[in-house]
Amino acid sequence: MDILSVIEHKKKNMALTEEEIRFFAQGAADGTIPDYQLAALLMAIRLNGMTMQETAWLTDCMARSGAMLQPDVGGIPLDKHSTGGVGDTTTLVLAPLVAACGGKVLKMSGRGLGHTGGTVDKLESIPGMQVELDEETFVDIVRRVGCCVVGQSKNLAPADKRLYALRDVTGTVDSVPLIASSILSKKFASGAKAIVLDVKVGSGALMPTLDDAIRLAKTMVEIGKILHRPVSCVISGMEEPLGSRVGNALEVKEAVEILQGKVQGPLKDVALFLGSRMLLNASLAKTANEATEKLAHAIETGAGLEKLKEMIRAQGGMPDVCDNVVLLPTAPCIRPVLSPESGWLSATDGVALGMAAQKMGAGRMTKDDVIDPAVGFIMKKRIGDWVEKGEEIAILHACGTASADEAEKNILAALSLSPVPAPPSRLIYALVDENGVQEINL
């Protein structure tokens, strides 16, 4: 078998066999297939799609391209994953909260992909934080602390690790089979037994419409059924940045301030909703209300913040950032973006806002780019808010004047003001699991 014939079959919109998919996945994992041929196959998949069976095979083959953990963490191994958004720092809020409630969260996260931020990049803005850990250390921290968030191990799903980096720079990010197989292969390889997926929908998401998001969610639930792993999906909104801050250190600060009980808002609300599903899946709560109350109590008592400190300390980082966020990296150029006119903020271009942060250095344009952890911006207004001419609509944290000038232009171009009031953006649309689609209006 050779990769050219596999590319040719998918180029002609033919279904690949399990043998072909295993060959492709193993070649990605061991480096025997070069980047340019992998990129060609990724584009053929992006254009022609995959059947459900092909996608399940790809998921399984990528998961089995390296080690398969069977972690003994003293409880049900839990995981949560987001399809990616802007200002989405839910993992850094819910992982310690779920751990404080008795959960065991083992999370293998990615780096920034396209216009979306990456949890691993955010964690690396914490001085000393180690996100590349061996499997034994990873599992040990989960057992002792209750949560650990690391980058993708070289030994776990190595095929996905290589393809993930290529998708970011080949225009193949927004493919349902590639998204679904990428997410689930990592989860299955890491040994997660109960998986909650946050499928984003809206202008800042990989899935721009609700139909697209539900299709992706149903795909992942179905793959879980085929491969005998329980998967549930929450469809959440991404019409604007979830949190007020966009950029790695800035987002860590916001997560810390939520756990300190200082910040309310959509980021906290979505984190509590996702965390409640994790507690239910681990049988640590009988109802959604009980689960949410437990998580809220962990904030009120400071137990969640203490768990974050424990996790950071266990991973070699500086836990003092949880008491003093000024210890996180700070940009040299901080200045406001003033609104050029008055009006109601009626819409935002989420992709454009994500790209604005990426161009500032908060994300990557190529897979080898180095991230500046300090840069990004803080949104001072949300959809539905009134904005006065000359009022602060955002605050830039840039590496210099030229970068700030470009970011200001890009951010203003991504915002739409209207003389007519606009309703706030929706946070949660639906829950998708083996029982079907349940509409939720939050």
Active site residue 186: yes
* Dihedral, CA of residue 418, residue 422, residue 427 and residue 430, to nearest 10: -120
Residues 6+ apart with CB under 8 A from 36: none
Q: H helices then E strands: how many in the chain?
A: 16, 14
Q: Please list the helix, strand and coil fractions of the chain in percent, rounded to the nearest 5, in that order.
A: 45, 15, 35
CA pair distance 327, 330, nearest whole angstrom: 8
Active site residue 236: no
Choice among 175, 182, 203, 236 that is catalytic: 182
Choice among 81, 107, 193, 426 that is catalytic: 81
Active site residue 182: yes
Choice among 88, 160, 372, 433 that is catalytic: 160
Choice among 64, 162, 186, 187 that is catalytic: 186
Of 311, 236, 306, 298, whose CA–CA distance to 269 is shortest? 236
Active site residue 167: yes
Task: At 169, give phi and psi (nearest 5°).
Answer: -120, 15
Q: With H, G, I as helix, E, B as strand and everything else as coil, classify residue 207.
A: strand
Q: How far is CA 251 from CA 86, 92, 120, in A?
A: 10, 9, 12
**What are the tokens at 116?**
């979306």
CA pair distance 155, 138, nearest whole angstrom: 13
Active site residue 190: no
Choice among 46, 80, 167, 397 that is catalytic: 167
Catalytic residues: 81, 160, 167, 182, 186
